[in-house]
Amino acid sequence: MTSFNRPTLPNDIRTNGATPNPWWANAVVYQIYPRSFQDTNGDGFGDLKGITSRLDYLSDLGVDVLWLSPVYKSPQDDNGYDISDYRDIDPLFGTLADMDELLAEAHKRGLKIVMDLVVNHTSDEHAWFEASKNPDDPHADWYWWRPARPGTTPGEPGAEPNRWGSYFGGSAWEYDETRGEYYFHQFSKKQPDLNWENPAVRRAVYDMMNWWLDRGVDGFRMDVITLISKRTDSNGKLPGEAGSELEDGPIGEEGYSNPSPFCADGPRQDEFLAEMRREVFDGRDGFMTVGEAPGITAQRNEYITDPANGELDMLFLFEHVDFDSDGIKWKPRALELPKLKRIMAGYQTAVAKAGWASLFTGNHDQPRVVSRWGDDSNEDDRVRSAKALGLMLHMHRGTPYVYQGEELGMTDAHFTRLDQYRDLESLNAFRQRVEEAHVQTAESMMIGLAARSRDNARTPMQWDASKYAGFTAPDASTEPWISVNPNCAEINAAAEFDDPESVYAFYKRLIALRHDNPAVSAGSWTLVDADDEHVYAFVRSLGDERLLTVVNLSGRTVDLPAESAALVSETADSACGPISADAIVIATHDADHAVASLTKRELAPWEGVVIRI
């Protein structure tokens, strides 16, 4: 692992409760979706050499850590989140030598590399799973195998061990003729769940993680890591199995029950994470761990990320990106800002004394935030709302994550036809909900896909205005694996790189502010004007430094709400007095515009300001 070249926070400033302060307390992470980042060989897929070729861009942006979505060997059923060999690179992305080169070149620039770790499940083409099909093999109990329900014909509908549904549609059980039993998969049928109850499984996982750390990676982002512990009865039976002491949940509209209450944050979750910490990370320095955490509350986040408990450094919580829908992601609703503020306040309050927060609004599984909560209908509002949303997020306490293209204000794909989508979840959901269960119309589902499909974030990175946006050569014989967003002619890195008014330039300033101002990194966080429907406002405090962040997350001019207006008046000569430009820390418009707005106690559409009070 590389040493970190960013000054760390002094130990008299509390971060997550550890001493000394962790290096990542004032760092910023940049997520790369490798297949969509940079293609160097013209095959239509991004690759490791492409990432290496763009390291200077990332260094200029100022980020500290690069998180790579999976590049391991994989059949690519779920774009690499179905791993068939943890210790090799998929030829789609290159070779182990290419990975070593990327590590070396990143480390030369002071950038750390965090790999995606997918160990809740493997591919059904992994050697472990192939071996487990033989009940006499040592790997026989490495996955969740179960016989058909008594009195049924194995492989026929209704013979599944229980009624659990997969998050990707259909049953969560798949029949295997070789073994004559069903295996459990929370996601694709090509992603069987590993049985973490088996110590041999855990040992193999830890050995693999140590192998990568020894090779030079700087940590792991752990995919759905809070689903590894399943709830069973005293006889090891899952809920709803024949003879189980545990009752299953209700059947939903698609004809299946939800496994989440029995698989998320299970009874041995803390035990497994603590064991992982001891077996993999104890004795090492300079690493970072972050877990994707479905089913985890803000209060549980405090416990798991408290360094005294020896589990993980950070978690990704999801309540703030799950609430703006009508009970299911494919039925989106407009943003209710007071509700978002209450959720974010819960996150911040929970780790006020110990633990740490991850800050994100976008990733490879979420739509583009500027299309979701901003306004991408015209260029001016796209730029303004992208900056406003970035300011809102980055001024919170925790570690911010920037998803590739977010720093440019990239938008949703705006696909209009089903054949434009590539995402397994989206295609399966359309089939399940529209064609099989008939619980949503095709028209409604297409609206849902346009708003929430994971493919919105997976279109190629927009480097320039050329035919394929610079992702691959304009004369490449193979088109990109998914369509380039046509707005690359206007939205691209080449156009923004030297433009001081661009979204890119603003993100550079945001990232530098976190590095340079301890109050932004580690100061306390207090929500104000919680019920205002347009302005998101909060105070960051550290010692004598007090920073008020006010962001208008609407497309119209609004008055500053009462609490914010009163705080602004503290820095003015009188209750209605002017504001000094020296008090402006950062703003989405220029300082003069921010002064004029605050002096009038109002904010322009999508205007955000941080002011010393």
Per-residue pLDDT reduced to its tens digit, 245-276: 999 999 999 999 999 999 999 999 999 999 99
Summarize the confidence of residues 83-92 as an average pLDDT: 98
Task: State the pLDDT at residue 1.
Answer: 58
Q: CA 188 to CA 170: how far, in whole Å?
A: 9
Q: Which helix (H) or strand (E) holds 539?
A: strand 535-542
Q: Which helix (H) or strand (E) holds 358?
A: strand 358-359
Q: Which residue stretches of 42-196 are H helix? A: 48-53, 55-61, 96-108, 127-132
Predicted confidence band of residue 578 (pLDDT cuts 50, 70, 90): confident
Task: State the pLDDT at residue 571.
Answer: 84
Per-residue pLDDT reduced to its tens digit, 278-325: 999 999 999 999 999 999 999 999 999 999 999 999 999 999 999 999
Domains of the chain from N-terminus onward: 29-120+199-229+265-414+492-497 (3.20.20.80), 523-612 (2.60.40.1180)
**Residue pair 297/267 in contact by the 8 Å Cβ criterion:** no
Summarize the confidence of residues 177-195 as an average pLDDT: 98
Q: CA 430 to CA 442: how far, in whole Å?
A: 8
Per-residue pLDDT reduced to its tens digit, 417-441: 999 999 999 999 999 999 999 999 9
Task: State the pLDDT at residue 255.
Answer: 94
Predicted confidence band of residue 576 (pLDDT cuts 50, 70, 90): low
Q: Which residue stretches of 109-241 are H helix? A: 127-132, 199-215
End-to-end CA, the chain = 41
pTM across the whole model: 0.96
Residue 403: closest CA among 339, 354, 346, 456: 456
Summarize the confidence of residues 201-216 as an average pLDDT: 98
Task: State the pLDDT at residue 573.
Answer: 63
Q: CA 362 to CA 408: how far, in whole Å?
A: 13
Per-residue pLDDT reduced to its tens digit, 546-575: 999 999 999 999 999 999 999 999 887 655
Per-residue pLDDT reduced to its tens digit, 149-173: 999 999 999 999 999 999 999 999 9
Task: State the pLDDT at residue 577.
Answer: 67
Q: Is the pLDDT of residue 410 over 90?
A: yes
Average pLDDT of the chain is 96
Q: CA 361 to CA 602: how far, in whole Å?
A: 26
Q: CA 455 to CA 467: how far, in whole Å?
A: 20
DSSP secondary structure, 419-466, as one string? GG---HHHHHHHIIIIIIS--S-HHHHHHHHHHH-GGGGTSPP--SSS
Task: State the pLDDT at residue 572.
Answer: 76
Strands (E), 103-156: 112-117, 145-146
Predicted confidence band of residue 327 (pLDDT cuts 50, 70, 90): confident
Summarize the confidence of residues 396-419 as an average pLDDT: 98
Catalytic residues: 223, 292
Q: Which helix (H) or strand (E) holds 380?
A: helix 379-394
